[in-house]
Each structure stands twice: as C-alpha cells, then as structure tokens.
Amino acid sequence: MSTTRPLLTQREAAAACGVSRTTIRRRREADELPGAVLDDDRGWLIPVEDLLAAGFRLNAPVPPDEKKDAGDQAAAGAQPDTDPGETAAVLQSELDRLRHEHALALADERNAR
C-alpha cells in the first residue's frame, strides 16, 4: 500500500503556518515548495513536508494582537500555542483529500468493469 502525503490548499497552508496566502504563493512560485500540484477542483495543493522543508512551522502562534489572553485560554483548558481553528483546517483538508482519493478509486474501479 502506498503512503499518502497530507496536502493543504494554499489557504489551509497559510492558516496552518500562521502566514498569508501571498507568502505561500510566493514561496511556491520561487520553487521552494516543489511538491505543489495544481488540482482542478481545489487549486494548488501543498505537501506538508514541503512546508516543513521550506522552514514553516505548522500551527505557528498567531501574532500577539490576535492571540487571546493566555489566562483566558488556560481557564478554558486550551493550550496557549494551539489554535483549534488551524487544527480543524488541517484535519478538514486531510478529510477532503481522502474523500477525493476515494472518489477517484471508485471511478477507476467502475471504469475497470
């Protein structure tokens, strides 16, 4: 069985890394994200490994002016550097990718009949 690589859209990659979509696009255009592929439905898909190799950190903390007070987060039981929205975006991307791969596999199976 082949290993699948998690792929993120440019928007998801930007959110997961705490940078702008423009930053991700520029790095892709500079060939710093060599595994990026263009998908007809979702646009550019960026492998998580490429983001890490390019020096990005996943779930990078947001700037202080956007971050909630650490005391509020601790009271709510959240980790200070963990943004559930970013984690949800990564998980949603993985789910979408798996659904897409499953649909392709079903189509291949139907065509083989």
User: What residues does each domain of the chain span?
Assistant: 7-112
- pTM value is 0.52
Max Cα-Cα span within the chain: 60
| Strands 7-9 and 37-39, bridge-based pairing | unpaired
- Chain mean pLDDT for the chain: 77
pLDDT number for residue 95: 74
CA distances from 104 to 25, 59, 95, 97, 110 (A): 27, 30, 14, 11, 10
Task: Mark the ranges of the chain whose per-residue pLDDT is less than 70.
Answer: 1-4, 60-86, 100, 103
Helices (H), 46-83: 48-53, 70-75
